[in-house]
Structure 1
Amino acid sequence: MKSFIPWFCLVAATAANTVQAADGVDAYRRGNYFLAAKSFAEGPGKDPVVEYYMGRMRLYGYGELKNNALALRYFTDAAQKGYMPAQELLARYYLQKGKDPAQAFQWFKKLADADNTAAQMYCAAAYIYGYGVKQNTDMGRRYFIEAAKNGNPIAQFAVADHFLDSRDSRNKKLGLIWLNKAAEQNNPKALVKLGELYAAGGIVTRDLAKAKQLMEQAANQNYTPAMVSLGELAQKQNNFAEAKDWFSRAAEANNIDAQLDLAKFYLAATNPQQDVDSGFMWMLKAAQNGSMDAQKSLSEMYKKGQGVAVDENLAAQWKQTAEANASKKIEPDPQIAAARWLSNDTEEQFNGVYQLGGIYSAWNNPQALKENNYNAPPQMDAVTRKHLYQPQFVMAQPDTIPINDYFDVLAPMLTGAHSNDWSYPRYPIDKQIASLVRHDSMVLKHKQGSAPVDDGASYLQKDEEENSPDYLAQQTLGWKQQANMQAVLSEMYNQAILGNSSAQFEIGQLYQYGIGVVKNIDQAIIYYQLAAAQQDVRAEYNLGVMYLEGKTNPVDYQKGIEWMTDAAFKGNAYAQYVLANIYEKGLTDPNGNEMIKPNHQQAMAMYYLASANHFGEAEYRLADYLVKEKQSGLSQAAKKHRSDLIKRLYAGAAKQGVAEAILPLAFYNAMDSDPKKQEQAFETARREARNGNSEAALLLGMMYDRGIAVSPNQYEALYWYQQATTNPVSAFILGTYFTEGNGVAKDTEKGRALLQESADAGFSYASLNLGVLKHDVGEYFLTELDNARKQGNSKAGLLLADYFLQQANDPEKMKQARDIYEYFAGKGDKDAQLKLAFLYDRGLGGEANSEVAAHWYTEAAEQNQPIAQFLLAQLYQMGRIGKQPDYEMAKKWYKQAQAHSPYASVALGFIYDTVDDDYANAADNYSRAAATGDAIAQYDLGLLYENGKGMPVNPEKAREYFQQAAEQGYGKAMTQLAGLYFNGINGIRDEQQALHWYKKAVAAGDSGAMYQLGLLSETGVATKLDFPNAVSYYQQASDLGNEKAQMALARMYQYGIGVQKDIQHAADIYKGLAANSNAYAQYQLAMMYIDGQLGEPSIAQGKPLLVQASSNGSNQAETMLRLLNAQQEQKLSFIEPLQLNKAPVLAGQPAELMYMDALNEWNRGDETLSRMILDRLMTQFPHYVPAKKVYEQLNQQNKAPDLG
């Protein structure tokens, strides 16, 4: 037994679990961004992973107020410490958004030097075309060679092209190797190049069919140069129709070479499809698209009037255009050239892995892009302890229990009558002898003739003398039979004398049985020994039989065993079967002396050997033994192996003609996935049941119950169940149905009696159901569950363990639960493995151990346990297997789980959404889970539509999904739904609906709703003006980490709005915000120090805060810093820049909404915009009282600071 785990370990583990949940990295990966932000702020130092995550939170506004400048700083810090995801982001950022190819190259180079293939390719392109770095083709080649080694097909083609361009034959062979590598990856350029080599011959053997096949493979990718090559190849073969088709397809796709080729095709005099007009039109198109050859040809066509009227002026113009283009040295745009090289000439912009995705380019809602705002982040479902260990006191349903489990109980009834019957198997005698014997057999029908013996014959009468039989004929009766027998025997003797072992064996048989010769055991032994000396195992077996049957003189049982053993170990199935029976029961002589003691192990070994030789009786007998063996201690894998073996044995025995195996086989075939075997099982069960076989009636009932090989029919099922004689299985099935009233009139008393009868007979499922029944009526039930557990019933065991785990105040019960999970997990039960893994995962009942948890999750996941697959994927996602997250493994297991778990689809969507910025895949997975009613999936999908992530903004669809999730009680969805109602869907606002949902969201604990209700209460929008309520809501949101709520409280205490003015309290709030890099809080705190609101004026204390605020994006701080510097250095003069009016268009907006917007802008740190809105509000609505009072309070201290 395992060591005792005291209860305090569980308490400690729970505490440790809390610490683990508070870990910022883990919280970030789970999507708990507010907790992550708090943990990162409190944590000592910053490692690059944390800095990268902080950058992502600032960039997306997840858990932190959105701040692009701060995000970029965090990314840079992480990248400089070598964190590759940050380097990748910065490389793409400077390439796409920063428009700084030199800076982009520096980050790509760091990645390339760390063996990042995409970065190697970028560096190769940058060096080759001089984009962001000085052109250097040798350096470019170095990078694309490294990328080629890593398997990049574009790089492999570049390497091939380089070597094929060499004059050295060895280099050409090397080029061909690389070309084939690229072609194997379906690279269109490589396919065309390789096709051209096969068409030309030389470095490879000329093969036009191969050339065409390769080019078509490239053309199927819409690669127009391949079409051009195919057209040229067809034209060379005078296949004009095919050439025209290929040229036309490429020309219509705007390939200039194809347009020129098509023009020449139509103009060719040898072409039966010559069409000068069409030739002129395509030549004109190619010329207009910049082909100098086309421009020259077009000039000649105008000059000669070919396909067009003669026009000397146009001829001269096109000639001049061609000459001008020829004299120009057109330098390709390095950016376009690099992009085309990286995309096989399909793109002129950096796309794919070089695209800056996510919020930088794929979000279409301007509100989500605003600085200093929170964006609602996507979430994941979580499996909880309650979810996993809630005891399910539900009866096991008879139609869900594997039929072979029933058969294990029924098997003794089916096989018991035959278990002691056996006889020595006999070899058949020679076919010719057998035929002669059958011919004269008394039991076979013969042609009409005289009987061999006539017991009713009388003496002849005188009048019968003339008809009396011939004496000689009587004496020679059967002479033909004897002659035939003698002929066969003579041939046998001759063969035996010549040493033919088969003849010796067959003569031995004749002497043994007295067929055709006088029975003579000694002679039989002589001939058998002659055959045995030549390794005829049949002779050895028959010798063994004669000795064991006591037919020798003297009787020698030991010699019989020796002969039998020798034959058995030489592979004789008869001998193996006989020895198995002897070892099974032992051997005694007629006097009762024990010659061989029973030896079960030896018997089973011989049964296995005989069964391996497909001896039907042995297969049946071995199956009989296996089904009788107790299996409570077997693992799931061992049980499956046992079941498969028994099924094979019964099938083998039935095939060999063992009738007793047919019905047992039907029990196994009924559970087979093959419909034909199910039909065979049904026919067997129906036939035997109609003949009165009780066990067959049970099987037939089960098949009707489950709809196996027949439509489900509970009435038929119950009929056949009741036709069976009472046994543990029928008692269990009927007892369960009577207890539940399923298909029969409910009779709990009768059902309980039947279940008790079945349980007393040792059927574990009956004990389980009896325990559930007792639990439901309030009786003591643990004895029944424990009995079922001891019998190996994992369902009962896990129910018992779950019940014990509920009693968290009893350490002994906790230990018992863990022991049960470990026992059944060790036996391969996937649910036990899941539950044990969760204990180790979360540290329940002991220390957390991710390695052990991963082991048991994997064991269960590989048996397709969907929750285990989900939790295993989560370990990979959280980076708790290995040193960092493995998102590919996480995706693999989530994909396997999602068929049965919407949680997995949500988690998969979450990775695509928050890690990969792949919103199309995120939407697919969220949609899949949302369709099942998963509230979090509906919420996440609503966010995609609301923010327009990779799709147009669609408030109506967002509302639809938020509504579905909100109606299921999901608080975050309530907040988003309220926001949509408040801001308006398709121009229609509904403040009361918004208020309703905000209040419900607050009750559900959502901090965003708390802030919003605080703002509504402070401004009196949609509800009454109520400062105490506003402070209360703001404080609740603040306690949950909402910085906008904290800024609101700081403003109220700083200016005494709705509360007693308290500068120190406001400063304390600002200090907390400033520590988290809040630029406005840093600015306000700096001004408090400079103004002396916190004691003596102190520029020394204020200026560093202004520097921080400025670097974090505060324009006010930047302005104040310039003013300070101008004041402190007399040589400098400072003119405050003119603040452009950036107030939003508010025409037609009511005063209360303008007021609310103003305060909301202040709370997000934009005091300047807030004051602009308030100024306009006072201009438009000078008597709007709520705003007027606050406006005055805010302007009391709005004066220039004394800078000394």
Structure 2
Amino acid sequence: MAFNPDELHKIKSYSRDQHVSVIYEYIVGNKSQEKVSALTGIEEWTVSSIIRAYNFNQNKTGSFRSGTDRGKYRGTERELVSKFVNLHYPGNVEARTTFADFIAKHKKQVAKPPAAPPRQTYVQRPVQQSPVQRSKPPVPKPAPAPRPVVYQPTASELYNKAIGLWNARNHNRDMVDGFRQAAELGHEDAPYYLAVYYRDRGHYGAENLQAAQGWFAKALDRGCRQAKLEYGDFYYELALNAKALKLYNTVVPSYEKAAKAGHSGAQNNLGVLYANGEGVTRNDQLAVYWFDLAAKNGNRFGMSNLAYRWMNGSGVQQNDVQALYWFEKAAGLGDEDAKKQCADIAFKLGRRLGKSTDEQDRKQAFDYCQKALLYGNQEALFYLAHSYANGLGVNQSYRQAAEYYEKAAQRGSAAAQNNLAVLYANGHGVTQDHGQALYWYEQAANNGSKVAMRNMGYCYKEGRGCPKNAYGAVHWFEKAAELGDEEARSQCAEGAYWIAEQFYKSRDVQEKGKAFEYFAKALKHGHDKSLLNLAVCCEYGHGVEQSYAKAIEYYQQALSKGIDKAYEWLADAYYQYGKEYDEEESYDEAIAMFEKAAEMDHEDAMIALAQCYFEGKGVNMDDHAAAEWYVKAAEVWSARTSAEEHYMEAAEKCFNHYEIERGLAWYERAADLGAGKAMVALGNYYFGEEDYNDDPEYETAIEWYLRALEQGDDDGEYHLYRCYIKLGEQAWENRNIEQAIAMYKEARKYGYGDSTKESLHRCYCHLARAAVDAEDYRLAAEHYEQAEEHDRLGEEEDAYIEKIGDHFYDSEDYYGAWNWYKKSGNLARQTGRAQNAIGLSYIRKNGKQPDFVQAFYWCKQAAEQGFSPAQYNVGGFYLNGDGVQRDFTNAVYWYEQAAKNRHKNSLHNLAFLYMSGMGVPQDLDQAEELLTAAYLQGFDNRTYRFTCKPLSPLRSLLARTASVKPSPLESMRTLYALKYPNEDGQRLLKFADFLVKERQCFELIYEIGLSYETGYSPLLGVRVESDMAKAFVYYKEAVDKAGDVRAIGKLGHCYRHGKGIGQSDERAIEAYKRGETLKDPESLNALGECYFTGQGVGQDYSKTFEYCSYAAEQGHAEAQYNVGFCYENGYGVERNERAALEWYVKSAEQGFALAEQQVAVCYELGIGVEPSPEKAREWLAKAGAKSSNASL
């Protein structure tokens, strides 16, 4: 056995001393390999390898093991063996030297003995006589021995010895030399064995295959019987070895020779080469030819391959019958795949013939289905059952049908489950049992059978197998209708309308709201009367957000279908809609409707027409015409409002829109009709009330107030008093003190207390306020002291008094500040105010750096005095962590203390904490109550408007998740919208970052990164300035901290395109691979694109198709487009335009712009579909102005 170089590393793992021990014991000690292994402790396989490495043969054919030379090297020194090993250590020299040659050379160098005769394999040696030992006289030297006669063996002897080694499986050099010498001497069989020897070693190199062919040709030339018998097998095996080395110039001719000799394996393999184009030009016809020969020669692989050709129509015209024939042949020989194909094709043939109306075809269909079932196709159960139930190709038998249906049903066939239920319902082939029927209907329905869904609906409607249940009936009818069942659609419409009516009759608001859902279902499935009901729901907000626009749409549809009351209600809806949204187009139709109603003395219509003329909606603005319609409306016998009241309302609208002159005219019309309120309104205008008149005319105002007083207006005296006070103030402002006193005396006539005392008090207070506004606090203090001589200072002066106190504080007169603070209330409260003012001064004073620690100290002192604003401030310090460690619990405590005194800001912030669950258990009811209280205390109107909207989603979330708190993200968006309704997205992101760091809301990290990447986050609902560097940081944190799969693909994109970080293909691929293990579609698609372009990986279109397919199957729109692109252009997959179009459509249905454009191109050019310019334009219109950067 030759030495295998692959063993070299194993042999060299042992030391040279161990090598010496092995060689010494084997050659010098003349021991077997087993004994050498036992002595040296080296495994026998390694002993054998070492011996062969030094050119010794383990078959013991060397002369030192052949008998005559046994023990020849006994006595050789170990050092000499060591020298041999060191010289010929494996890998040191290429040429092999025998130990005998080494010893001979050594002896020549040392003792230089006479040369030994050459070693021959077959030598006849004469018997030599031992010399007689004599002591005396000296023995003369013997004469030299005669030269031996060399015997030359015959070809047969050489062959016989070689064949002995062959049969003993000692395929060594002696055997090969023996066969070669015999062949050279003309032996006819020796070349055959040499050919087989080299053929079996063909995997070592092409030279062995060439030698095998040469020797086999000689064997054939010499008439070798064995070569002729094994001609096919020889070339078949030769081809297999050549194919392993991809030597197709040897493979193809060898297979052809074997195939032509009738070798079925070669015929099949040659067919495979032609089918795949390996080593030959692809030729489907030749492939079929050789598969056919192999199959007819009994080769099961040839049978199976031929069957696939018939099945796919490759090289032959497609024929399932022929395919089934050959698959059955292969299956009979144990081919498991062929059995599966038999099952599928037989079932396919059965289904195809089963559609025929010819009875013979139906019989064949039944036979094929039986055959399919025999081979394991369980789908055939249903078609066998269907055949028995309907007598198709077999005698009708409900019992047999029931048996097959039940078997198919138990295997999950929805159609079988439904049909089995029908048999139970009708008692065909089984005992009638509605309960069993309902059970199987439900199984089928759950498996997607629309017929079963409809039947379930009837069961619930009619109470078959279950109690009657209108909701259940509608549920199942609707599911069937959604799958296209028209009968179920009609039933669903009727049932849904009936349920909706029951809900709408309820007085419970929530139940009434459910009516919309069922009216909508009824309309969806064809119940036109529901249009009117849906319109009413939209108009009044029952079960849906109130919307006149939606109501008008429904009313219009109802009117077009002639539904009663639609005309009148549509007119009213237009009126309401126009009034709210000011849409001229709606008013045009509304006017026409209102005019018809006005002809029948409809008061509201007349008022509406007056308002149209008043506002110029649908007509030219005409106050005269509006006034006429108002008068007509007031003259109706059932009128609810007088003309002057309409005039007053019109005047107020004008003033609200700052149409002052027009408004005055409407007030004068009302005044002319004797409306005292109109006179007061005119007086108020000239008085300068509500900022409508920047230049008050108090004398004119007095005239209108006097007229109102004559009409019995209760507030006339008060209004006159105000005018005289204003005139007095004007006199005061003009430094005309006497005139001021005179006006105050006139004011006194109208009964408002001691006018002198009060007016002077007010006058001084006014002067004091002016002084405060002028920052002359000393003068202000004097005026307030003068005012106190006439009356105590009222609460309305507190703000000004506090500023005076602040002035004394700024002047470091803390005692003076305390005296002024306490003027507005009791000592304890004002002490708190003073302390609070001191505390706030550390934040606000002189633009210096705020000192929150001192501010917190003084405000807390004030808070402990019970001063509500200070308690509010302390709560804020704890909430924001200003001057003290952030503590939500303490924030809640101090807000609650201030809230007890109805402090509006504290009520609001406490509501914020109750909504967020920070420092207190989350309680939305308490939050809403607090917000309402804040509003009632005068908190900004905007906040109260937000109470319903933000709380509604939180309430809905709590209702869905029972006791589970809403996610931090939902809470964050809701609470932040409430607290900062007009803030920008940057502040919201900071708040999100706070939730991540403080409350471990790691799910927000990805959303923050997305916001910075795109400039907008749909989930957070904010817009910010794009910043890819920040986006990268947050994406990386989302992966590292939260393990967010969504961020892995984004991180890869950053590395791949160098966005926010240095470009790195290696890191991008690393990220995408990580996403691949988590089946992230974004990462899978990106990997596919990288393999397409060769970015970071070797270009490989097959992997492009593989990765994009994985992502596309998960619904990734861009990946679906890429798969379509691969199919269209044949990248990594066989070109298939129809499949390309299917994937383009899937992507386009998700709104992917490139896919929409490509679908349009396919329909325009007829790629994968018949050309259709209409559909092309339709898809192009959908694409619109969209754009996408994604494509392969």
TM-score (norm 1): 0.23
Larger radius of gyration: 2
- Higher relative CO (Cα under 8 Å, sequence separation at least 6) belongs to 1
